[in-house]
């Protein structure tokens, strides 16, 4: 019985290994049919899978559109999710990535080129792109489609054996948050190596300027004044020479009894 099980063990192991092996399509091309160098590759459906990539990149002023299919284990990019960012002046990176491991040749369907969107989404970001330590003069630009985040990336842009330092700011999809220092993004014409990056939610475009209120320097109202009618003579008070009105009255009252006595003597005489 033991010998029978030992005889079956290699076959069981082979069947188990065969159950984890996945066959994927491979090809490359500049059209969606991806007809150049068609073939297949083998990958582990637990740790790997099949991959389809469609990309459109315009950083050099012309559009580079490419399609390719391969095994996921041979894909050298750290970013394995669809990603797009626009850095102004018609320059953008749009890479559509789809992974699967549910069946052999699951990457057979055509993956569409990422066309982006021209519909503004009400958000804005600073945008610019500069190479070789040139100054990245940014200007605020409306964002479109699903690019609802702002990016600020610096790193090296590899094209074949040559490379250049770059700085990029712009609108990006939420998947741009996968960009971290030390990661890379692989495309057909370029490989982006990021040594610094920041991704934040984009701000809304102001609908109108805030109201402004001008406050006068002195806000205290002057006290009300009473106007004197024209040609109006104010009453004057006559006082005796050398004494005030109060003092004159007091003196008259003091001498009144004496004056009364003199008057009575005058009448009786």
What is the C-alpha separation between 104 and 143, in angstroms, rounded? Answer: 39
Contact 189, 144 (CB under 8 A): no
- The closest of 143, 110, 109, 96 to 124, measured between CA atoms, is 143
How buried is 81 (Cβ within 10 angstroms: 0-12 exposed, 13-18 middle, 19+ buried)?
Answer: middle
pLDDT given for residue 208 in this prediction: 72
Lowest mean pLDDT among 53-62, 84-93, 182-191, 241-250: 241-250
pLDDT value of residue 213: 61
- Residue 139's Cβ-count burial label (10 Å; 0-12, 13-18, 19+) is exposed
Residue 218 is assigned to a structural domain of this protein: no
Computed over every residue of the chain, the mean pLDDT equals: 80
Q: Give a yes or no: residue 264 inside a domain.
A: no
Cβ atoms of 55 and 31 closer than 8 Å: no
Q: Which of 46-60, 134-148, 206-220, 231-245 has the lowest mean pLDDT?
A: 231-245
- Poorest-confidence range of 42-46, 80-84, 213-217? 213-217
pLDDT at 211: 62
- 237 assigned to some structural domain: no
pLDDT score of 75 more than 80: yes
Task: Note the pLDDT of residue 266.
Answer: 40
Task: Select from 56, 74, 52, 78 the least CA-distant residue to 65.
Answer: 56
Tell me what pLDDT residue 152 has: 97
Quote the pLDDT of residue 94: 97
Confidence band for 123, pLDDT divided at 50, 70 and 90? very high
User: 25 pLDDT exceeds 90?
Assistant: yes
Q: Using CA atoms in the order 32, 36, 40, 44, what is the torsion angle rounded to 10 degrees? A: -60
Residue 258 confidence (pLDDT) above 80: no
**223 in a domain, yes or no?**
no
Q: Residue 237 above 50 pLDDT? A: no
DSSP H or E stretch at residue 245: helix 245-268
220 pLDDT tier (thresholds 50, 70, 90): low
Q: Total domain count for the chain?
A: 1
**Structural domain boundaries enclosing 55:** 20-204
Give the pLDDT band (50/70/90) at residue 222: low
Residue environment code for 164-185, b if the CB has 16+ CB neighbours within 10 A, otherwise e? eebbbbbbbbebbbebeeebbb
Structural domain contains residue 136: yes
Cβ distance 122 to 137 under 8 Å? no
Asked if residues 67 and 35 have their Cβ atoms less than 8 Å apart, the reply is no
CA distances to 66, 86, 129, 172, 248 from 177, in Å: 24, 15, 19, 9, 100
pLDDT number for residue 185:
97
87 located within any domain:
yes
Give dist(CA 234, CA 258) in Å, integer.
Answer: 37
- Closest by CA to 53, choosing from 21, 29, 86, is 29
Higher pLDDT: 161 or 123? It is 123
Residue 144 pLDDT level (bands cut at 50, 70, 90): very high
For residue 29, being part of any structural domain is answered with yes
pLDDT of 261 above 80: no
pLDDT for the residue 108: 95
- Confidence at 33, pLDDT banded by 50, 70, 90: confident
**Res. 87: pLDDT tops 70:** yes
pLDDT at 205 over 50: yes
Query: pTM for this one?
Result: 0.70
Q: How many other CB atoms are there within 10 angstroms of residue 30's CB atom?
A: 13
Return the half-sphere exposure (C-beta side, CA atoms, 13 A cut-off) of residue 256.
7
6 in a structural domain: no
Neighbours of 86 (CB within 10 A): 26
Q: Would you place residue 225 in the very low, low, confident or very high pLDDT band (cuts 50, 70, 90)? A: low
Could you tell me which of 103, 87, 261 has the C-alpha nearest to residue 172? 87
The pLDDT, as a whole number, for residue 114 is 84
């Amino acid at each position: 019985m033991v010998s029978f099980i030992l005889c079956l063990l290699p076959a069981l192991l082979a069947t188990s290994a065969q159950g984890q092996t996945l066959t994927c399509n491979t090809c490359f091309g500049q059209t969606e049919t991806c007809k150049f160098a068609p073939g297949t590759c083998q990958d582990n459906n637990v740790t790997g899978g099949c991959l389809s990539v469609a990309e459109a990149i315009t950083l050099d002023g012309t559009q580079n559109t490419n399609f390719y299919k391969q095994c996921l284990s041979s894909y050298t990019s750290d970013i394995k999710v669809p990603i797009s960012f626009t850095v102004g002046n018609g320059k953008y990176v749009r890479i559509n990535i789809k992974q699967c491991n549910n069946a052999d040749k699951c990457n057979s369907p055509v993956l569409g080129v990422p066309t982006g969107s021209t519909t503004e989404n009400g958000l804005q970001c600073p945008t610019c792109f500069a190479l070789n330590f040139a100054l990245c003069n940014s200007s605020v630009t409306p964002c479109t489609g699903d690019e609802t985040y702002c990016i600020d990336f610096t790193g090296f842009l590899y094209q074949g054996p040559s490379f250049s330092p770059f700085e990029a700011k712009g609108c990006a999809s939420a998947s741009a948050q996968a960009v971290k220092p030390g990661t890379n993004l692989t495309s057909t014409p370029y490989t982006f190596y990021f040594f610094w990056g920041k991704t934040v939610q984009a701000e809304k475009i102001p609908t109108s300027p805030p109201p402004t209120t001008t406050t006068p320097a002195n806000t205290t109202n002057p006290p009300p004044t009473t106007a004197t009618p024209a040609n109006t003579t104010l009453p004057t008070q006559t006082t005796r020479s050398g004494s005030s009105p109060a003092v004159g009255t007091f003196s008259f009252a003091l001498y009144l009894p004496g004056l009364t006595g003199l008057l009575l003597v005058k009448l009786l005489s």
